[in-house]
A and B are shown apart, each in its own frame.
Chain A
Amino acid sequence: MSLRRAGLALLRQQGAPLVESLSATTQQAQGAVREAVEGCSRGVSTLAVKQRMKSVGNIQKITKAMKMVAASKMRSATAATENSRGIVQPFLRMLGDMPDTQGAKAVFVPVTSDKGLCGGINSTVCKYTRATVKAVRDGAAAADSGEAAPEMMLVVMGEKGRAQLQRDMRDNIYGTVADTNKVKITFPEASAIAEELLKTEYDTARILYNRFVSAINQKPTIATVLSPDALERAAAEGGAMDSYELEGPDRPEMLMDLAEFQLAATLYNSMMENNCSEQSSRMSAMENSTKNAGEMLGKLTLTYNRTRQASITTELIEIISGATALAG
C-alpha cells in the first residue's frame, strides 16, 4: 500500500501542473475510480473465485447441518431397531431359515430409502437384488426339476430402489411402497404391507435390506420367509415343528398364522434396520461432503489471495511505470 501512495505522490510531484489542476477532482475521482476498479477490473478475476467460495461455504454449512440431523435421528432409531430384532429369533429357531428353497413364485422385497444423499446403501441393495434374482433363476435352472423357471416378482420399498430397478427390471416390478418413513415405522404398517405381499401368493419371499451393524458399518442382508405351503412342505420332511404338540388349530392353519406373523415381524425388523442404516450412511456421507467442502474452500482461499495479490502487483507496476515514464 505504501508503494502505491509513494507512486501517487511521485505522480503528483512530477506532473505538478497537470495533476494540480486535476488534484481536487482527482481526489474525488480517485475515490470513485477505486471503487469501480475494485469491483471491476481488479475485481473481475477475484469475483469469480469469491462467488465460488461463497457457494462452497454454503454447501459446507448445509451438509454439516444435514449430518447433525442424521446423527440425532440415528441415535433415536438405534434403540428401537435393536428391540425389533428380538422377535425374529424365535421364528427362525422354530421354523428354520432355508434361503435356498425353490418354488414356483419368488418375491423379492428390496428395502431402500425414499430420500437421497445417503451414500451407497441403495445401490448396494439394488445390486444384491439383481444378483439374487439371477442366482435364483440360475439355481432353478440348475436344479433341472423339469418345472418352468420360477416367476420372479419385485415389490420395491422406497423411491430410490424403484428408480434404480425400473431401468432394467421394470417388467418384474409388481408394486412399490413409498413414504413408509413419513410418520414413524410401526408394526401395524408392516402388517399392512405384509398382507399385500401375501396376496401375491408367493412361495418364497426374500427381503433385502441393510442391517445396521454400527454407525460406520451397514451390511446388506437377505431374510428369507417361506409361505405357509412351502413351510408345510419343509415341515413334512421333518423339522423342529415335529417335536411340539399342538394345542388349538391343526398344523396347516397354525403354520399359516405363524408364517404370516413371521413375515410381518421380519418385514418390520428389516424396515427398522434399513432406516437406521440410512441415517448412519447419510451421516457419514455428509461428514465426507463437509470435509471435502472445507478442503475446497481452503484451496479456493489460497487461489483468491494469490489472484488478489497478483492484481495489486499489476496495478502497482502500472502506476509506477506510468510515474517513471512521466518523470523520465
Chain B
Amino acid sequence: MTLQVCIMTPDRIFWNDQADEIILPTNTGQMGVLTNHAPLITALDIGVTLIRSNSNWNPVALMGGFALVKQNQVTILVNEAESAQTIGVDEAEIAFQEAKTKLEQSQGEKQRVEATFVFKRARARYQVVKQL
C-alpha cells in the first residue's frame, strides 16, 4: 500500500504521484507520514518536503499552506511550490546568502518580518538543491 501524494498550487496541480513516505514541514517541526496514518489536517510552514519512493528522496520547496491526510491520500495545498529541476544551484545559493545578510541587518518589526519571509523562501529553495 502506498500514499497518493497530490501537491496543488492555485495555478496548477504541481505533483500527483505515489509515494511510500512523506516528511512535511509543519509549523511545529518536521512530521513524517506513512501509510495508514490517522486523518490529519496541518498547517505548513515555508520549507522543504521530502517525498520518498522506494529509497529515492525527492525534495520539493513549499511556500506555506496546508496538508490533509486521509485514507492514504495526502493533499498539499500551497501558495507556491518548486522542485529541484527549476532551481539553479548557484542562483539559489546567492539568494540564500543575500537573504541571510538582509535578515541580520534588518531593523524594525516590519523590516524583520519581511526579511524573515524572504529568508525562509530562499532557504527552502537552497535546501532543495543542496539535497542533491
Do A and B interact? Answer: yes
Interface residues of A (CB under 8 A from B): 80, 83-84, 86-87, 90-91, 94, 187, 190-191, 241, 243-249, 254, 257-258, 261, 264-265, 268-269
Give the interface of B toward A (CB within 8 A): 8-13, 26-28, 31, 38-43, 65-66, 68, 70, 75, 77, 79
Across the interface, B41 reaches (CB within 8 A) one of A190, A254, A261, namely: A254
- The 13 sampled A-B contact pairs (Cβ below 8 Å) are A83-B13, A84-B12, A86-B8, A90-B8, A187-B10, A244-B39, A245-B39, A246-B42, A247-B40, A248-B26, A248-B28, A261-B65, A261-B77
Q: Is the CB of A247 within 8 A of B42?
A: yes
Of the residues A87, A191, A241, A247, contact of B26 by C-beta under 8 Å: A247
Given A191-B79, A248-B28, output 17 extra A-B contacts at Cβ < 8 Å: A84-B11, A86-B12, A87-B8, A90-B8, A91-B77, A190-B10, A244-B41, A246-B41, A247-B41, A247-B42, A248-B27, A248-B42, A257-B43, A261-B65, A264-B10, A265-B77, A268-B10
Residues of B within 8 Å of A86, CB to CB, are 8, 12-13
CB-contact partner of B77 in A90, A245, A249, under 8 A: A90
CB < 8 Å neighbour of A265 from B10, B12, B75: B10
The answer for the CA separation of A190 and B41 in the assembled complex, in Å, is 24
Please report whether the interface of chain B is mostly helix, strand, loop or mixed according to DSSP.
strand
Partner of B79, one of A90, A187, A249: A187
**Chain A residues with CB below 8 A from B8, complex form:** 86-87, 90
**Within 8 Å CB of A269, what residues of B?**
10
CB neighbours (8 Å) of A249 from chain B are: 27, 43
CB pair B31–A84 under 8 Å, yes or no, is: no
Residues of A within 8 A of B39 (CB): 243-245
With A248-B28, A257-B66 already in contact, the answer to whether A87 and B77 are too (CB < 8 A) is: yes
Contacts of A245 in B (CB 8 A): 38-41
Residues of B within 8 A of A247 (CB): 26, 28, 31, 40-43
In the complex formed, the residue of A with least CB distance to B37 is: A245
Could you tell me the distance between the alpha carbons of A91 and B8 in the complex, rounded to whole angstroms? 11
Given A244-B68, A248-B26, A248-B27, CB of A90 within 8 Å of CB of B42: no
| Min CB gap A95→B, angstroms | 11
Q: Is the CB of B11 within 8 A of A83?
A: yes
Complex contacts, A257 vs chain B, CB 8 Å:
43, 66
* B12 and A83 form a contact (CB under 8 A): yes
Residues of A within 8 A of B77 (CB): 87, 90-91, 261, 265
Note all chain B residues with C-beta closer than 8 A to A191: 79
| Minimum CB distance partner of B73 in chain A | A90
The residue of chain A having its C-beta at the shortest distance from the C-beta of B14 within the complex is A86
Instruction: Say whether B70 contacts A244, CB under 8 Å.
Output: yes
Chain B residues with CB under 8 Å of A244's CB are 39-41, 68, 70
Q: In the complex, A70 Cα to B90 Cα: how many Å?
A: 41
